[in-house]
Amino acid sequence: MKRSAMSNDQHPRPPTHSLLRIPLFHLLAINLATGACAATLLVGGLLWLNPGHLRELIFADSSPGIALALLLASFLITFGSAAMGSAIMAQGRNEDGGKSDGHGSRLAVQEVAQRTRPK
């Protein structure tokens, strides 16, 4: 059997296309997971505290799984999208505690400075 002169290290590897390697999707996935944890804790807290006899209403039904799934899904959508949206909106903030000149990015400040410069 004849061996190739190239070793395994010399073969080009195909690029791996993982969405989590893209920083934006990584940020969104982390915040979606945070929102999902908050939603799960809230649904668990609602069932534990039983406000307005909610737990009794859910488990009195013949199929409580559907009601629980709908309640959890609605909270997942709400808290997941709120966490992802706040992460996206916080992208333009400076790292000095969020204090800025009223603009979220340096580009806007540079554009205003260029417009007001005398010619």
pLDDT tens, position by position, 77-87 = 999 999 999 99
Instruction: Indicate the domain borders of the chain.
Output: 20-92+102-116
Cα–Cα separations (whole angstroms), residue 72 to 44, 55, 68, 81, 115: 9, 13, 6, 14, 51
Alpha-carbon span 54 to 39, nearest angstrom: 16
Contacts of 32 (CB under 8 A, 6+ apart): 80, 83, 84
Q: Given this model, what pLDDT does residue 84 score?
A: 95
> Would you tell me how many other CB atoms lie within 10 Å of the CB of residue 79?
21
> Per-residue pLDDT for 95 more than 70?
no
Q: Which two tokens stand for residue 55?
A: 């737990």
Contacts of 101 (CB under 8 A, 6+ apart): 109
Q: Are 55 and 47 in contact (CB under 8 A)?
A: yes
Looking at per-residue pLDDT, the higher value among 8 and 13 belongs to: 13
Question: pTM of the predicted model, to two decimals?
Answer: 0.63
Q: 15-36: per-residue pLDDT in tens?
A: 667 877 888 899 999 999 999 9
Q: Given this model, what pLDDT does residue 91 score?
A: 87
